[in-house]
Amino acid sequence: MMIVMQDGSTDEQVAGVVEKLHEVGAEAHLSRGEFKTIIGAIGDRERISQIPFEAMPGVDSVIPIMRPYKLVSREFHPEGTVVKVGPALLGGDTFVVIAGPCAVESEEQLISSAKAAKAAGASILRGGAFKPRTSPYSFQGLGEEGLKLLAEARRVTGLPVVTEIVDVRDVDLVCGYADMLQVGARNMQNFLLLQEVGMQEKPVMLKRGLSNTVEELLMAAEYVVRGGNTQVVLCERGIRTFETATRNTLDLSSVPLVKHVSHLPIIVDPSHATGKHELIAPLCKGALAVGADGVMVEMHPDPKAALCDGPQSLSFEEFSRMMEELRTIAPPLGKKM
Amino acid sequence: MMIVMQDGSTDEQVAGVVEKLHEVGAEAHLSRGEFKTIIGAIGDRERISQIPFEAMPGVDSVIPIMRPYKLVSREFHPEGTVVKVGPALLGGDTFVVIAGPCAVESEEQLISSAKAAKAAGASILRGGAFKPRTSPYSFQGLGEEGLKLLAEARRVTGLPVVTEIVDVRDVDLVCGYADMLQVGARNMQNFLLLQEVGMQEKPVMLKRGLSNTVEELLMAAEYVVRGGNTQVVLCERGIRTFETATRNTLDLSSVPLVKHVSHLPIIVDPSHATGKHELIAPLCKGALAVGADGVMVEMHPDPKAALCDGPQSLSFEEFSRMMEELRTIAPPLGKKM
Amino acid sequence: MMIVMQDGSTDEQVAGVVEKLHEVGAEAHLSRGEFKTIIGAIGDRERISQIPFEAMPGVDSVIPIMRPYKLVSREFHPEGTVVKVGPALLGGDTFVVIAGPCAVESEEQLISSAKAAKAAGASILRGGAFKPRTSPYSFQGLGEEGLKLLAEARRVTGLPVVTEIVDVRDVDLVCGYADMLQVGARNMQNFLLLQEVGMQEKPVMLKRGLSNTVEELLMAAEYVVRGGNTQVVLCERGIRTFETATRNTLDLSSVPLVKHVSHLPIIVDPSHATGKHELIAPLCKGALAVGADGVMVEMHPDPKAALCDGPQSLSFEEFSRMMEELRTIAPPLGKKM
Amino acid sequence: MMIVMQDGSTDEQVAGVVEKLHEVGAEAHLSRGEFKTIIGAIGDRERISQIPFEAMPGVDSVIPIMRPYKLVSREFHPEGTVVKVGPALLGGDTFVVIAGPCAVESEEQLISSAKAAKAAGASILRGGAFKPRTSPYSFQGLGEEGLKLLAEARRVTGLPVVTEIVDVRDVDLVCGYADMLQVGARNMQNFLLLQEVGMQEKPVMLKRGLSNTVEELLMAAEYVVRGGNTQVVLCERGIRTFETATRNTLDLSSVPLVKHVSHLPIIVDPSHATGKHELIAPLCKGALAVGADGVMVEMHPDPKAALCDGPQSLSFEEFSRMMEELRTIAPPLGKKM
C-alpha cells in the first residue's frame, strides 16, 4: 500500500503515518520528492488494510498495490484448478456445456430438456428450483418439488445437475439433490451464503454480480475457498451498463483476465447477459475463442410458453445446431468437446 | 403492455398474440399502421407479465407501460406515509438526522458517539453490529455483542437505534434489540430477507443497491409492504458509475423522483455514497434542499482510528457544525429540525 | 508516479525502469518489500507520463499520483476565479441563474423568453443557434439567424447571452454575437474546439461530457486555460449511467469536489440532466445547497410546442415560482441573488 | 410512437394529443383500458418525433417504437454492404486485419511496422497522425508529416492506409493521403465531422463512442450515409463502465447485434478497449468467433518505447503469432484470411 501525503504535509504528519504502520508490525519506505512525499507500506496485508489512513491529517490518498485476494490468485497456486461435477471436468482441456431451462416448471418440461441437452452433447443440466425475481409478482420457482425433478432428470439422463441456492437455511436441502451449487449474480456479495457454501463438499458456481468488478468476483470466491471449499467455478454473465439493446453487457474480456490472475475455471452465460436468443450462438463461440472453460445456456421445449426468460431460451433445435458449430471450432481452438 | 410486431408479421402471428392475451383474461387493442402493428394489452398485470411474448413468432419487442409496483405507488396511496421510529417521524415535516459510527467497535466508542449525536440534535442512532464486507479479511462486526451495546446506548441517550440485518436467521435476534431494521445496499435484492422483514412489526430502512434503478428499489420495497409491513423508509446511497473520484455517485435526483411516484419516505446517506468526509456537509444540505426526509451520516470519536470507513466519518465537531448549518436552512426549505 | 514491479522481477528489470527515469531527468526512489518492489518516480510530470512503463518487462502496474492538470488546480491558484459575463459575476458570492429556451426558434419565442427570464431575476440568457442532435432528422438550429435574434434579445433586455459553439470554423462568427461561448457535453473532448476557444477573449462555459470523469473535465478546462483564456466556468449536467428514469444522472457531488480541487466556478444544468420539468426546481435548490455558483435552466413560452427539449422546459410561471424559492433560501446558504 | 396518458387524463387532454398528430399528417389509434389510455401514432417519423408530447397536459410518457435510423438498417437494405479499401474488402467472407502503431512517430518506426504487418498477413495499415489526447501535455501526433510517412509506407508495402481525422478543416488534407478516414470514439457525435466525411468519396471507419449505445452508433452512421457516402465500417472499441481492470469494457455482443439490425460491416479494436497487450490475442479470436468482419490491432517495433499506448501494443513477434492462430480458426468459422 502506498500512502500519498498532501503537498505541504508536515514532518509530524509523516511521522504519524509511519508510527501507525509500525504499530501493526509493518515497514514504511519513504520517498520524498520536491512536491510529494510517498510512504510505501510493506507488511501484513490484513492488518495494514484496516488502518484508516485517509482520515489521518496530511494524507492525500491511499493506493492499494497488492491484490486483495490470495487463495484464488495464480501467484498463490500457479496451476489451473480443475473442478469435477459428476463426470464433467471444468478447467481442463474440455469445453463444457451446461444447458437446461431457466426454471424447472414441470416433469415433462424438465425431462424433455434434459434428454435434448444430453442428446446434443451437454455435460451438465441446469434448472432453477428457487428463483430470485425482481418483482414479487413473478413466478418464484417450484422449490423442493423442483429439486426432486432435477434428481429425476439426472437419474434418467445421467447428467449431473447444477441449481441455484438462494437461502442459507436451504443448504442441506439443496445439497441433498444437487451436484453443484450455484450462487447467483444477486447473491455474489451475500457473504453469509458464500460462507455456507464454503463449508460444503459440493462444487460451487459463482456468478459475477451485475455491478461487480472482476476483483470483487475474485474476493467473493476467496470467501468460499477460505471456508475450505476449493471447488469453485466462476461465471461471467454480463454487467450493468448504460447500453439498453442487450439486458446486460457481456464482458468477454473478463475471461482471459481471470485466467491471467487466478487459477479458477471460468465459464460464460450469454443467456442472462443478453436476454436475446439470436445472440446466444455467436457469443458461445466467442466464449470458446477467448478461452472460457465452458458455457451455460438456457433452452426450453417451447420458449414462447416459458414461465421465465423465454425470450433468451433456445429451442432444442437451435441448441443442437449451436452444439454442432461449437464442436467444429473447438479443436482448432485447442479444446475438446 | 404494448406488443410491437415485426415488419411483415403475418395475421396468424398477430392472432397468436391476441389469443395468448385472451387466455389470461386480458383485452387486446390492435393498431395497424403502414409499417407496424402494435397490440395493446389491458388486463391483470401479474398474469400478463408472465407471458413470454418476445419468444413468440412475429414479435419485435415488448414495451411495459404500467408501473411494475403497486402497493408502494402514489397512485395507490396518494398521501405520504409517515414512519415512526421511537419518537422520530420520517416522512412528515421534520428533517430527521440519523447518526453514529459505521460499525459498533466498543462501549466507549458507541456511547460517546451516541451522546455526541444526541447533543448535536440527531434523532436516531446508527451502528453496525453485522458488517457485510467485500474482503473476508476485513472487520466483520461484533455481532450480538454489538446489538447489546446499541441497546445500552439507547438506554443512556433515549435515541432509538437502527442497525443492519444481513442474515435471515437473525431476524428474531436483531428485532430483540433494534428499533428499526436496515436492509443494506448489497441485500436490496435479497428477496428472502425482504420477505422476512416484511413480516416483522419493526420499521425497515431499505437502501438502494449499488446498481439498482429507482424502479427496482420500489419493487424491493413492494416485497416488504406486500408481506404486511408498511413502515418502509427508502435510502439513496449512491450508485456505481464510471466516476472514480467518489466511491459511488450520489443520485440526488432520485429523491424528488421517488416523491413523485411513491408515498414512502426517502432519506440520503452521503457517507457511503462519497467515501469522503469533506463532501458530507454540502451533500446533506443538498439532500435537504431536494426534499429528502432526512439523512444518515457516519461519525466517530476518532475517525483516523475507526475499524471501518474512517475516511468518510465526521468527527463530533464536524458533525455538530454541520447540524448548525442544517438547522439554519431547514425552515426556509419548509422543514423542521 | 509509482511503478509497481511484478513478483519475481529481476534486478535487471528494476534497473531498466530506473534508467528510463534517469533518461528524462527524473529521480527513482526504490522500496523493496518481501514480495513487491515499488519505484517512485519524481520529476517533470509531462516527461515521465510519456514513458510507457506498462510495456516494460517486469512491470506489474503504474499508479499515477500527481494530478494530471495544473493550471486549473487550486494548489496552483488557491483563490477562486470569478468570471465576468456582462454584468454577471460567476464564482463570487452571487448565485447566478442562466435561463432561456433550449433552441432559438423565432423572434417572438426568444424575446418573450428573455423578458420573462429578466423579469423573474435571471442574469444571463441562454439559447441554442447551433444544435448538435443525435438524429440527423431532428431540428438542427437556426444558425446565424439565431445568433442575430440572441443579440436582439440582449438589446431589448440587457441580459448577456451564452450560446453553444459546435464548429471550429464558426469561432469568429459566434464571438461576434455572444457574451459567453458554450462548449457542449458532446464536445468536451473536442480538443481542437477547446484550443480555439482557449485563444478567444470571451468567457467559456464548459459542460461535462456524458461519460467523463471530473478529472477529465478539469483536463479539458486545462486545454482552454493553457491557451490563455482563464475565464472558464464548468457545468455539471449529468452523466450516463444504467438508470433510465432520468435522462442522465445528475452528479451533484461533483460540485463540492470541484470546489475542493479547482479554483474554477461551477454551475449545474438540471434540465439536460433529468429531462423532466418536475425535477428542475428541487434540483436547482439542491445545486444552491451543495455550493454551486449558479444554474442553467431551460424555459419556453409554450413547452408543449417546443422544437427541442419541451419535456424538460419550464413555463414562465414555473420558472418565476422557482426563482422565488431560490431567493428565499439563498441568504441562509450564504449566497446573494 | 406510443403516447401513454396519465391515470385520470381527461377526454380533452386525449383530444389535444390526437389533434397534434393530425397537424403533422399522422394517424392516432386509441386504446382505452380500465386504467390507461394509450395513443398509437402512425405517420412520418421525422415529423412525429418533433412533437414534444411529454410536455402536454395529461401525458405520462412517450414510447418510441420505430428504429430512429433508416438508411443503415437491414430492413431498408437487406444485403450486407461490402466496403472496399484498396484491395481489401470489409463485410464479405474475408476476416480483415488492420494493424500498425497507435501514432506515427518516425519513418523507421512506421516503415518497419508496415513491413511487419504486411509480412504477417495484415491487409490495411493504421497509424495516427493527429492524436486527440485527454491531456494537453501528451504527444499530439506529427500532423501532415505523419500523413506523408503513411503514404510512403503504402508505397513501400502496397498496404492501403487508414488514419484518424479530427478537424473538419483537415478533410482535404487527410483525403489527399489516406485510403480510409477514421472518425474516432471521441468524435462519434461530432456531427459536423460526420457530415463532412459523408460528402467524401473515401470509405469511413466510425468508432463507437465510449458512452454511446449501439443505436447511437447507427444514428451517427446515418449522418454519414445520408450525406451520400455509403462506404461506412463500424468499429466496436469498448464502452465505459465501472470496471477498472480493463481500460474500457469490450462489448462483443454488439457485433451480432449490429449484424442483425444493420447492413454495415463491423470490426473490433481490442487494443483501445482493454489497454492490455496480453488480452489482445484472445479477444481477436473472440471477435472472429462472434462474426466480426475484422479487427484493428496496435503493434510497435518496441512497445516499451512507444510515445502512445505502449502497454497495449503487440510486438512484431506477438502480432505474427496471433495471425497464425487467427488463420487456423478462420476457416471453421466460415471466414477466409
* pLDDT 10s digits, C33-70: 656 677 877 777 777 877 878 778 888 878 776 677 88
- Measured torsion, CA atoms of residues B157, B160, B164, B170, in degrees rounded to the nearest 10: 100
Question: Residue D72: inside a domain, yes or no?
Answer: no
Answer whether A282 sits within 8 Å of D256, measured CB to CB: yes
Give the three cell numbers for residue D203.
Answer: 470509405
CATH number at residue B306: 3.20.20.70
Give the three cell numbers for residue A309.
Answer: 426468460
The residues that bridge with D38 in the sheet, in sequence order, are: D4, D31
**How many structural domains compose chain D?**
2
- Separation between Cα atoms, residue C83 and residue D154, nearest integer Å: 50
Amino acid at A138: S
Residues of chain D with pLDDT under 70: 33-36, 65-66
User: What average pLDDT does the segment A17-21 reach?
Assistant: 89
Question: Residue B77: inside a domain, yes or no?
Answer: no
Answer whether A313 sits within 8 Å of B46, measured CB to CB: no
- Separation between Cα atoms, residue D325 and residue D337, nearest integer Å: 11
Residues A43 and A96 in one domain: no
Beta strands A27-32 and A88-90: pairing type? unpaired
Question: Residue A27: inside a domain, yes or no?
Answer: yes
Cα D88 from chain centroid? 18
**pTM to 2 decimal places:** 0.90
Neighbours of B289 (CB within 10 A): 29
C partners (3+ CB pairs within 8 A) are A, B, D
Amino acid at B304: K
C266 shares contact with chain B (CB less than 8 Å): no
CATH number at residue D25: 3.30.70.1140
Residues C41 and C87 in one domain: no
Question: Residue A33: inside a domain, yes or no?
Answer: yes
Enumerate residues 6+ apart whose C-beta is below 8 A from B12. Answer: none
Residue contacts between C and D (CB atoms, under 8 Å): 116
Residue reference for cell 469435477: A84
DSSP, collapsed to helix, strand or coil, labels residue D289 as helix
A277 shares contact with chain B (CB less than 8 Å): yes
Angle D254-261/D214-226 helices, nearest 10 degrees? 50
B76 shares contact with chain D (CB less than 8 Å): no
Is residue D14 a contact partner of residue B5, using CB atoms and an 8 Å limit? no
User: What average pLDDT does the segment C169-189 reach?
Assistant: 96
pLDDT of amino acid C234: 98
Residues D92 and D178 in one domain: yes
pLDDT of amino acid A1: 75
pLDDT of amino acid C65: 67
User: What average pLDDT does the segment A157-167 reach?
Assistant: 97
Residues D312 and D218 in one domain: yes
Mutation test of the interface with chain C: which of A65, A70, A215, choosing the one with the most C Cβ atoms within 10 A? A65
Question: Residue A73: inside a domain, yes or no?
Answer: no
Question: Residue B231: inside a domain, yes or no?
Answer: yes
Residues C196 and C326 in one domain: yes
Answer whether B29 sits within 8 Å of D38, measured CB to CB: yes
B partners (3+ CB pairs within 8 A) are A, C, D
Long-range contacts of C259-262 (CB under 8 A, 24+ apart): C259/C291, C260/B278, C260/C74, C261/C67, C261/C73, C261/C74, C261/C218, C262/C72, C262/C73, C262/C74, C262/C218, C262/C221, C262/C234
Burial B302-332, CB ≥16 within 10 A → b, else e: ebbebbbbbbbbbbbebbbebbebbbebbeb
pLDDT of amino acid C137: 77
- Separation between Cα atoms, residue A40 and residue A21, nearest integer Å: 10
Nearest to D244 by CA among C35, C69, C63: C63
Per-residue pLDDT tens digits for D15-48: 989 998 888 888 887 777 655 677 877 777 777 8
Residues 147-206 in A contacting C (C-alpha not used; CB under 8 Å): none
Residue reference for cell 474482503: B135
Residues of chain B with pLDDT under 70: 33-36, 65-66
pLDDT of amino acid A34: 57
pLDDT of amino acid B35: 59
Question: What residue spans of chain D are helical by DSSP H?
Answer: 11-23, 45-49, 107-120, 144-157, 171-175, 191-197, 214-226, 254-261, 270-274, 280-290, 316-329
Given CA atoms D48, C309, D33, D20 in this order, what sign does their dihedral have? Answer: negative
Enumerate residues 6+ apart whose C-beta is below 8 A from C12. Answer: none
DSSP string, A264-325: S-EEE-HHHHH--GGGHHHHHHHHHHHT-SEEEEEB-SSGGG-SS-GGGPBPHHHHHHHHHH
How many CA atoms are closer than 13 Å to the CA of A60, on its beta-carbon side?
19
Question: Residue B68: inside a domain, yes or no?
Answer: no
A271 shares contact with chain B (CB less than 8 Å): no
B4 shares contact with chain D (CB less than 8 Å): yes
Enumerate residues 6+ apart whose C-beta is below 8 A from A88. Answer: A94, A96, A123, A124, A160
Is residue D201 a contact partner of residue D181, using CB atoms and an 8 Å limit? no
Amino acid at A279: L
Domain containing D228 equals 83-333
Is residue C281 a contact partner of residue C84, using CB atoms and an 8 Å limit? no
pLDDT of amino acid C34: 57
Is residue C281 a contact partner of residue C318, using CB atoms and an 8 Å limit? yes
Residues A249 and A181 in one domain: yes
Chain A residues with beta carbon closer than 8 angstroms to that of B71: none
Cα distances from D304 to residues D105, D125, D301, in angstroms, run 14, 21, 9
- Separation between Cα atoms, residue A332 and residue A27, nearest integer Å: 50
Residues B48 and B123 in one domain: no
pLDDT at C129 over 60: yes
Per-residue pLDDT tens digits for A32-78: 765 567 787 777 777 787 787 877 888 887 877 667 888 999 988 99
Residues B187 and B222 in one domain: yes
The residues that bridge with B41 in the sheet, in sequence order, are: B28
pLDDT of amino acid D66: 67
Question: Residue B74: inside a domain, yes or no?
Answer: no
Answer whether C63 sits within 8 Å of A27, measured CB to CB: no
Residues A188 and A245 in one domain: yes
Residues D136 and D212 in one domain: yes
pLDDT at C138 over 80: no
Residues D165 and D57 in one domain: no
pLDDT of amino acid D321: 97
Cα distances from A98 to residues A157, A313, C107, D258, in angstroms, run 14, 13, 66, 27
Residues C19 and C94 in one domain: no
Enumerate residues 6+ apart whose C-beta is below 8 A from C331. Answer: none
